[in-house]
A and B are shown apart, each in its own frame.
Chain A
């Protein structure tokens, strides 16, 4: 029979107290570990809700996110290289501007084909779109304007300046028929006058339109003067009137077609013309393209919404639902966010599904043009006017998908540029659009790429200093959603976790030392007796080692249970229901403490068992 086990049984009360002593040390250490882990989780939770965003911008083009060339020769697409050299870890958040065709939808902004330059009609209910209109040219007035061409050196010094005269043609047309125009509100009066001003002419130098002839025109129209008719009061109200085209009976208003329309002359009946070879191009391509355009939205395909400037500046906020997570963004999940204004207009809500066909914005509507005698001239013959194909079919990505609306956001008034979001913008994960990034390499898609960097919270100053050292300061804007205000509290939390872990471990070490001293004091007589009875010191130590688990295992288990019981079970009921006790780390900690206690006590036993008998006796 092991003499130490017998001693343990005989002196049960003091051994139980020894176990209690060890358990107090274990409890302190386990609580230290738990606090450290819980603090870490709390810090992480805070860290996750804040995002520090760095947005490059070009001071020459305020509102546009990509940076231009700098002294370092950085180009738009060099941001990735730059991010690799940065002294902090940088997660690139890229967004691509596309257009999405949603059949049956109604857009709020003018669907200008150069997506980035859309304007937003504040009343949100005026037809203001791509259109195909038949009109008769009534009058043409020519005027010339002075144009100053200046050439500047990189430091802004004027090198050369020349003045050219530019010829403009102002056309006055009678509105005949709209073949495609966004359905006006019920109480709209139809327009009956069309204004068109351009510097385009045919290659022989003659004006595009001739007085008295009829034309079919494709372009973006803008109402300059409009009237609503109030059926109840039978009165007319004009909310917008920028010209003096107000008729006495209040039923006239003007439409200005944007300066780059496609036009073709036709004679006789319009519908017969549409059956001719030239007319079929209009019927089959241009009219559908305008209609498609009216039912399109601006799409921002992005890696993360937090990196988008309007969200950083808090101009846009999610009012219902949520944004997509980084996992959803990575997986390319078919989910999207729409603005409250667009959702209201199109009567969609959270959980609804949108069928979106993507196409890329395109700025190249014309065949290449050249400058001659103060006027732009098409390189080809006058037929170039109808070769100007809209971008819809040729640039389509070919992808049509169903997207679930998971979030609704508020949208500030559209200010133009990439930093502002038009109210009919659909935001969705970039990975969900195949080949979205291929538009990045397209020369014309340079502007539509929105870049931002996500950096670790709190590393703002490091990056700022680095930018400064590399003459890049001023080209980047920093946003942190208020993290800098919370950072001191977060650091303090982190430190608390470390401090309590250190103190807990310290208490355990002290207790273990006290425990081993006490045990050696209590067992020294047993060791002596065993050796006097003829056992070797090794044999005595072996017996002791075999009996050690009697103290260590219950001590460590009791300590862990004590920590759980008081720190989690009891105190949670007294103070808060938030449970922070993590069992897996507690068990791992328990095993480590057990091993540490066993090794210490084993070593102590070794020392005591080898003491000289006479010394022990003394």
Chain B
């Protein structure tokens, strides 16, 4: 082996331009791969940023999509989105962020008053504002206490202890603690969506408005799949009933843009594949250049009793030795571009393909019989 290395070094001294070319090609391949990796990483980062910043709004409608307010679907759909139906295998809450849900009901007492149940003030209506009493704020609406904010016109109904009794159809009267004054609508009472208004049993009612945003856009496909197990895509052909809710996911732009970005990333990956094949081609080419006009030399080696495998090894050594400085330079460039070393593996893969090409060339040159090699005209 030592002898082979010595021979290779001696031979390389006569082929310095080619040796430099090999080192250059190897370092270029290494840096090319890392540069491509940098491009891919930057694009992936931008795609992630876009995914994180885009808010995909989802709107619950009735089954036909004809109503976005006064949707009239049962409250069970809101419970699904709130994560209150895990026992039935519904885990939609994992996809939901900023849920805004409300329901309206006309009360029997105070007469003509409207009760709005909402989990946030914004969910109750655009025009509504609340002036909360001391110690209370809008977080109360997200809770499940029996509290409410009432319009000024209903203040007459408030008892001395600061409560108001409401009478609903079918259900027993219930007393709510008044926590603020509601402005923007007369004869209106606003209470938390989750406030239990019936003792000892769960209550189903019809929703007025319901909307949310997707918690994680990267799970859009899974989310859509899961959502449409429980909801339907709004269409006029659907039968409109409180038991069927439509869900409109406003993802058209995001979906198309993301598909195009993914296509772009795939294209960059394709260039990586192409680079591998071109590396092999370069390997063949450099291999041939270094062993040009040396077929007789190889024939003599064979005639002197050297095995074909050793001749092959000698030829390969001549290519490997100049590859070492190229490799060192390449690794340095690679690490300079990507300090985390994420492109090193790709660089070595590239080198492997290059050497594969060289090996193929060397095998082709040294494979033929010595007598034929001797007869070969250079």
Contacts and interface: CB of A to CB of B under 8 A. Distances in A.
A411 B68 CA distance: 7
A601 to B, nearest CB: 18
A37 to B, nearest CB: 11
A296 interface: no
Contact of B269 (A410, A570, A575): A575
A523 to B, nearest CB: 15
Contact of B250 (A314, A412, A567): A314
B108 interface: no
Interface in B51-105: 53-54, 57, 59, 61, 64-70
Nearest to A16: B288
B182 to A, nearest CB: 19
Of B236, B281, B282, B284, chain A has the most CB atoms within 10 Å of the CB of B236
A49 B66 contact: no
Contacts of B68: 315, 410-413
Interface in A223-263: 239, 241
Interface in A397-428: 408, 410-413, 423
B254 interface: yes
- Give the contact-size bracket for chain B: 35 or more
B65 A567 contact: no
B155 interface: no
A79 interface: no
Contacts of A496: 39, 43, 264, 268
Interface in B230-288: 233-237, 240, 246, 248, 250, 252-254, 256-257, 260-261, 263-264, 266-271, 273-274, 277-278, 281-282, 284-285, 288
Interface string A470-506: 0000000000011101101110110010011001000
A492 B40 CA distance: 10
Given A49-B252, A49-B256, A339-B66, A314 B50 contact: no
B42 interface: yes
A319 interface: yes
A530 B261 CA distance: 58
Contact of A567 (B42, B69, B234, B270): B270
A13 interface: yes
A35 B270 CA distance: 10
B50 to A, nearest CB: 5
Interface stretch (A21-29, A145-153, A272-280, A375-383): A21-29
A265 B43 CA distance: 78
Given A24-B281, A320-B236, A493-B264, A410 B248 contact: yes
Nearest to B268: A496
Given A17-B288, A320-B236, A576-B263, A566 B277 contact: yes
A39 interface: yes
Nearest to A485: B53
Contacts of A492: 42-43, 46
B2 interface: no
Contacts of B257: 46, 49-50, 486, 489-490
B264 A42 contact: yes
Contacts of A493: 43, 260-261, 264
A43 B106 CA distance: 52
B278 A341 contact: no
Contact of B236 (A20, A122, A343, A571): A343
Contact of A45 (B50, B236, B260, B282): B260
A604 interface: no
A529 interface: no
B14 interface: no
Contact of B54 (A423, A482, A503): A482
B13 interface: no
A: interface residue count bin: 35 or more
Contact of B253 (A481, A488, A503, A580): A481
B375 interface: no
A349 interface: yes
B273 A349 contact: no
B240 A489 contact: no
Contacts of B39: 496, 499-500
B267 A349 contact: no
Contacts of B288: 13-14, 17
B65 A408 contact: yes
A542 B35 CA distance: 43
Nearest to B259: A45
A45 B65 CA distance: 29
A567 B49 contact: no
A28 B275 CA distance: 9
Nearest to B377: A10
B278 A340 contact: no
Nearest to A315: B68
B358 to A, nearest CB: 13
B221 interface: no
B236 to A, nearest CB: 5
B156 interface: no
A316 to B, nearest CB: 9
A21 B261 contact: no
A349 B236 contact: yes
A590 to B, nearest CB: 17
A592 B312 CA distance: 41
A181 interface: no
A9 to B, nearest CB: 13
A599 B54 CA distance: 52
Contact of A571 (B49, B274, B284): B274
A320 B43 contact: no
A27 B270 CA distance: 13
Contact of B266 (A50, A481, A483, A576): A576
A574 interface: yes
A179 interface: no
Nearest to B289: A17
A31 interface: yes
B273 A575 contact: yes
A493 B39 CA distance: 9
A341 B61 CA distance: 11
B223 interface: no
Interface in B20-51: 32, 35, 39, 42-43, 46-47, 49-50
A341 B67 contact: yes
A189 B65 CA distance: 30
Given A320-B235, A570-B273, A27 B278 contact: yes
A183 interface: no
8 contacts: A20-B281, A46-B260, A319-B61, A489-B50, A500-B271, A566-B273, A571-B270, A575-B273
Given A24-B285, A492-B42, 20 more contacts: A38-B263, A38-B264, A45-B256, A314-B250, A319-B65, A320-B234, A320-B235, A320-B236, A341-B67, A344-B66, A344-B240, A408-B65, A410-B59, A412-B68, A486-B257, A489-B49, A490-B257, A496-B268, A571-B274, A575-B273
Which A-B residue pairs are the 5 nearest by beta carbons? Answer: A571-B270, A489-B46, A341-B66, A340-B66, A319-B65
Interface of A: 13-14, 17, 20-21, 23-24, 27-28, 31, 35, 38-39, 42-43, 45-46, 49-50, 122, 239, 241, 314-315, 317, 319-320, 339-341, 343-344, 349-350, 408, 410-413, 423, 481-483, 485-486, 488-490, 492-493, 496, 499-500, 503, 562-563, 566-567, 570-572, 574-576, 578, 580
Interface of B: 32, 35, 39, 42-43, 46-47, 49-50, 53-54, 57, 59, 61, 64-70, 106, 112, 233-237, 240, 246, 248, 250, 252-254, 256-257, 260-261, 263-264, 266-271, 273-274, 277-278, 281-282, 284-285, 288-289, 292
